[in-house]
Structure formats: C-alpha cells, structure tokens
Structure 1
Amino acid sequence: MYKNLYDDSVLVREYINGKEVALEFLVKKHQQRIFSFIYSKVQDRDVAEDVFQDTFIKVIKTLKKGSYNEEGKFLPWVMRIAHNLVIDHFRKNNRMPMFNNSDDFDIFSILSDDALNAEKRIIKEQILSDVRCLIEELPEEQKEVLKMRMYMDMSFNEISESTGVSINTALGRMRYALINLRKVIEKNKIILIS
C-alpha cells in the first residue's frame, strides 16, 4: 500500500486522517537514524530505547492533537523532539553531555559531564538559556542550519537534503550563524565561561 516513495508529509497527512499504518511506515523509514542519534548521545541501549519510545509517544500525541505544522520537515522535527528528551534524561541525572563544534568558536563546550555543585549548575543553565535566546535572534535560515548541526547532530549532507539547498549553502549559513553569534556576544559583552 505504501512505498518508500511516499513523502513524509503524505504519510503524516494519511496518519492524521486515521490511517494508522502510515505511522508505521514513518517509524520504519526513520527509526535507524533517530535511534542512532539518541544512542550516540546517551551511550546506553536501554536508555536509548526508552528515549526512542518517548519520542514517538510525543510525536503521536502532537499529531493527534493537530499541533503539527512543520511543512514537510518531519525528520528534523522528530530529531528536535528526540534531542529535547535526551537533554531531559541528562537533567534528571544531573549531568549534561558535551556538544563539540568543529569551528574554533565553540560556545557549546560550556556543557560538562562533571558533577556540578548547585551554584555552577544554575550558572551553566543560565548560560545555556542565554545561548538559546541568542540563537533565536539569528536569521531563520542560519538558525535552522545551526540547530540541525549542533542540536540534532546532522551532517551537512543531511542538512542539505533536509533544507533543499546545496552543501556549500548549508556550510555558508552555518559560518554566518557563528559569525553573527560571535558579534552579538561581543556587542553585549556576554561572558560564556564556566
């Protein structure tokens, strides 16, 4: 009935219209990629399976409520949900993973796996919140690429496919996003140290 040729947007629409099997196809189509992403962050198969299941529970609830409006960008949306659930997992266990950026400007290295005392944890959470706010100020195209790369661990090839632009355009958007973040940080004299 359904083939891999079906777009995610078609499958999502079919599922919303009551065809449960469409969700099965969506899960099968993306499960390897989503599970691998989750596992790469949590490094524990049982935890990864739990987060994977929680991800799709949240996907189902959102779709059933009619709150989904990602305009055909199903995978990046699911990856954001998975990423947020991974963060929730680390928060519950009082440790945050380290996200490394290959550029020499690495605002994401402020995250640490070390056990933190309460004061340091509060400071780091505030810094993370500030960084998220700064990212939201970026132009939409730059923000989208930066989030896919840093928070969803997508390769530039995957970003290119997902956004429908060339790899060079995706790389350029990432570069300008980092340059613009650096400018805002320097302009506002924000100190990103732990």
Structure 2
Amino acid sequence: MKMFAQATDTQLINVFQNGDINALEVLVYRYKDKIYSSILFLVKDKYLAEDLFQEVFIKIIDTLRGNRYNEEGKFLPWALRIAHNLCVDYFRKIKRTHFVASDERDVFELIGSVGDAADTKMVQSQSHEKIRRMLDLLPEEQREVIVLRHFAGMSFKEIADVTNSSINTSLGRMRYGLINLRRMMAEKQIAL
C-alpha cells in the first residue's frame, strides 16, 4: 500500500486494470470521505448513503475492469458524477421531488472537528447544525453547488461537469446561494 501512496490516480487505475487490487484500495481510501459526504448530504440518510456509496464503487470497478474509463486525470469529478447520478436515479425511482431527512446526524461531523476543547466542539457543532438547516432551505441547485464546492472541494468546472450545467450557471448558483444564506442569517439574526 505504501508503494502506491504517491501514485497519481491515473497510475493507480492502470495498476488496478493490470490486476493489482491494492491500487483500487488506495483510490477508495483517497476519496471515500468526499464521495460519501456528498452522497449523504443529498440523500440525508446514513444507511441509504452507505448503499449508494457502495454502488458508486461497484460502477467504478465495472467501468475500470471493462477498460471503459476515459476521464484521464479526472477521477474524483468522474466518481462524484457517478454518485450524483445514482442519487438522482434513486429519487426518480421513488418518484419524489424532495429529499428525505430521516437521519439527524450532522453532515458536518464528516468534515471533522478542529480543537480539542469540549466547549469548542459544542459551539462548532451548533454552528454546523445552523448551517445545515439553512442549506436545507436553499433551492436544490444552489445547495448542491455549495456542497460540491465547500465540502467536496470541487472546482467550478468540475461542478459544471457533475451537474451538467455551464461554469457560469454554477457560479451564479453559488452566488445566489451565498446571498440567500446571508439573507437568512440577517433575518434570523444568526451569528456563527
């Protein structure tokens, strides 16, 4: 495993396609948090997110084994696009237009906390909960762009690819999403 630590995504994919499963394990470990947290934020159900996460990597494995991967150097955006599409397919399948919020687990717990003091963690947890609730009030397109940008660390070009929109549309959605968040904070006098 250590020998693959410095390998690029493309190198890992090539090694996996040549039969070394350890290379895939490194890829999974490298991106699991970003992919899982993006899925969880969209579906808001821990168990469903785990199922969809597994489906994402099943699709990735099938594509890699079939030598159909052609997104050279863009593994994470490609994997996030698969995750996004599986979430959309799931919601189409159950014919719902809104997201189900059956799990109260704070999505921001997945990002990790800084600071060791209990009071710091409590304040941080309360701030994350406020942000999550405000994000839930945003239109889906704005919320999605903010999540992909700030929690998955994607560029606007990658976001545009994942959401099948233009870069300008993604930028606009981000701008309006942030404006709406600021307006909500001002209206509710929320300080983070």
TM-score band w.r.t. shorter chain:
0.5 to 0.7
Verify: 1:174 aligned to 2:168, yes or no.
Answer: yes
Q: In the alignment, what sits opposite 1:41?
A: 42
Q: Does the residue aligned with 2:97 lie in a helix, a strand or coil?
A: coil
Q: For residue 154 of structure 1, what is the aligned residue in structure 2?
A: 148
Residue in structure 2 matched with residue 65 of structure 1 by the alignment:
66
Q: TM-score, normalised by structure 2?
A: 0.55
Q: Which runs of 4+ in 1 moved over 6 A?
A: none
Distance change (3 Å), C-alpha of 1:79 and 1:152: farther
2: distance between equivalents of 1:5 and 1:92? 40
Residue of structure 2 in register with 1:85 after alignment: 86
Q: Is the 8 A contact 1:34 1:52 kept in 2?
A: yes
Q: Larger relative CO (CA 8 A, sep 6+): 1 or 2?
A: 2
Please list the CA deviations of residues 95-126 of structure 1 after superposition, one character each: whole Å capped at 9, or x if unmatched.
1347xxx9xxx8948xxxxxxxxxxxxxxxxx
Q: How does 1:76-115 map to 2 (within 5 A)?
A: 76-97=77-98, 108=141
Task: State the alpha-carbon separation in 1 of the partners of residues 170 and 29 from structure 2.
Answer: 35
C-alpha root-mean-square deviation of aligned residues, in Å?
A: 3.4
Distance 1:75 1:82 in 2: 10
Stretches of structure 2 lacking an aligned partner (at least 5 in a row): 100-134, 159-165, 173-192
Cα distance in 1 between the residues matched to 2:52 and 2:28: 14
Opposite residue 45 of structure 1, the aligned amino acid is: K
> Compared with structure 1, are the counterparts of its residues 38 and 10 closer, same or farther at alpha carbon in structure 2 (3 Å cutoff)?
same
Q: Which runs of 5+ in 1 are unaligned?
A: 110-148, 164-171, 179-194
Relative to the length of structure 1, the TM-score reads: 0.55
1:160 shift after superposition: 3.9
Distance (Å, rounded) in 1 between the aligned partners of 2:63 and 2:25:
16
| CA distance in structure 1 between the partners assigned to 2:97 and 2:170 by the alignment | 27
Aligned residues: 126
- Closer/same/farther in 2, CA of residues 40 and 150 from structure 1, 3 Å limit: closer
Cα separation, 2, equivalents of 1:152 and 1:73: 20
Contact 2:4 2:12 in 1 (8 A): no
